[in-house]
Structure 1
Amino acid sequence: MRDKRIVHLVDDEEAIRKSAGFMLRSSGYLVQAYASGVEFLKVARSVEAGCVLLDVRMPEIDGLQVQTEMAARGINMPVVVFTGHGDISVAVQAMKAGAIDFLEKPFEKAALLDAIARAFARLDNADVRAVEETEALVRVAALTPREQEVLEGLAQGYPNKTIAYDLGVSSRTVEVHRASLMTKLGVHSLSDALRIAFAAGMGRAKR
């Protein structure tokens, strides 16, 4: 295995390509940047396998379509998606399609490096997914039934108001359950909570 791992950075914003690229290179990664999903897909089958950092909102073909096309072409590289603020429902779709994680812009260096490390762990070890599932099931089982219902709603991409309506409770009650379940899961961000939920098989039921 080569000493440096490659990250394929796909984002139409030049500022993101420059800042994230510099951050990753200074952390020891090789970086190949692409200005669009179309540009990346043209070479995706021939490039060295690595982690794909993929912006959701791009012209011509968006990040979700890139993910779909990668799957259709048998390109099995782990994906971490970038989203703008308020794109949680889109991020949920990306994670349902197999993304390792999603990061809201502007993202912190530690969060980015952690997501990439998990992506390469998935790439290197096929057993990682099974371990993640087992750990996630144990953590979700520790939640109350109501907390599990709230987490399921979040995994479906629903806002607090919708979850509250479905459960017949107030939005404030949902907020309390949401805060409690995140504490019990030992996470500080929605993306981490969703990652555990998806690993445990949640979010698959159709509304």
Structure 2
Amino acid sequence: MSARRMIHIVDDEEAIRRSAGFMLKTSGYAVSTYASGDAFLQAAKEAEPGCVLLDVRMPGMDGLEVQQVMAERGIAMPVVVLTGHGDITVAVRAMKGGAVDFIEKPFEKAVLLTAITAAFERLDDVQARATRAADAAVAIAALTSREQDVLRGMAQGLPNKTIAFDLGISPRTVEVHRANLMAKLQVKSLSEALRLAFAAGLQDEA
């Protein structure tokens, strides 16, 4: 990731792209601009991860449609919605669609920067969770299949006796597997083991 964080401005008004771009560049951000939702979506897969300032009212594909397509394509960049209209219905739809904030034009610099800060906090959280999930999956992959079965049962909140019954082994054997998997995962408590299991999504597996 570059030292300067990226802002993608998607707005059909050149004046907005220029003024917001200048404001953000002087605030230390890198900026990329797009004159339409289609242009942004074409570039989004290859674009540097960042915050998207997304205008609602655009010719062709509007901002809410762009937001929906981003979700469908798994483009997990946080969105701050911009509008020149005091349309509360649009605001509600945008926020339900996952927008970080909703700002009316003309916007104040402080309001915009606050929303962008919140957007990057969300982006960092998503990336941190993805890293934790990957690390947890690697650690759990090192367990034997039986140890993974026991951990899966633990993640589902099952007592040792139930895990033993489901796996056709004795409760004592479950205890041995638990001790072994905790040693391999380098955790000292049940809660630490469960955090790893949850990060890897083990509780959702059948």
| Range into which the TM-score falls when normalised by the shorter chain | 0.5 to 0.7
Bigger relative contact order, structure 1 or 2 (CA pairs below 8 A, ≥6 apart)? 1
1:21-40 residue CA offsets vs partner (Å, 9 max, x unmatched): 00000000000000000100
Instruction: Give the structure with the larger helix fraction.
Output: 2
How far apart are the structure 2 equivalents of 1:51 and 1:3?
15
> Post-superposition shift, 1:128?
9.9
Aligned to 2:72: 72
Q: Which SS does the other structure have where 1:98 is aligned?
A: coil
> Post-superposition shift, 1:86?
2.0
> Post-superposition shift, 1:91?
1.3
Structure 1's 104 and 128: CA in aligned 2 closer, same or farther, altered over 3 A? farther
Aligned to 2:181: none
Asked if 1:42 corresponds to 2:5, the answer is no
Q: Which SS does the other structure have where 1:125 is aligned?
A: helix
> Post-superposition shift, 1:126?
3.7
How far apart are the structure 2 equivalents of 1:126 and 1:75?
12
Which is worse superposed, 17-26 or 78-87?
78-87
How far apart are the structure 1 equivalents of 2:94 and 2:114?
18
Aligned to 2:62: 62
Structure 1 unaligned regions, length at least 5: 130-207
How far apart are the structure 1 equivalents of 2:128 and 2:97?
17
> Post-superposition shift, 1:127?
9.8
Aligned to 1:119: 119
Aligned to 1:29: 29
Q: Which SS does the other structure have where 1:82 is aligned?
A: strand
Tell me how large the CA RMSD over aligned residues is. 1.7
1:39-70 residue CA offsets vs partner (Å, 9 max, x unmatched): 00111111110000000000010000000000
Rg (Cα) greater in structure: 2
Q: Which amino acid aligns with 1:9?
A: I
How far apart are the structure 2 equivalents of 1:112 and 1:23?
10
Q: Which runs of 4+ in 1 moved over 4 A?
A: none
Summarize the alignment of residues 125-140 of structure 1 with structure 2, pairs less than 5 Å apart: 125-126=125-126
How far apart are the structure 1 equivalents of 2:80 and 2:20?
13
Q: Which SS does the other structure have where 2:45 is aligned?
A: coil
Summarize the alignment of residues 89-128 of structure 1 with structure 2, pairs less than 5 Å apart: 89-126=89-126
Structure 2 unaligned regions, length at least 5: 130-206
- Identity over aligned pairs, percent: 67
How far apart are the structure 2 equivalents of 1:127 and 1:69?
20
Does the 8 Å CA contact 1:122/1:128 hold for their aligned counterparts? no
1:59-101 residue CA offsets vs partner (Å, 9 max, x unmatched): 0100000000001111000000001232221011001000000
Aligned to 1:87: 87
Aligned to 1:9: 9
How far apart are the structure 2 equivalents of 1:10 and 1:60?
13
How far apart are the structure 2 equivalents of 1:128 and 1:48?
17
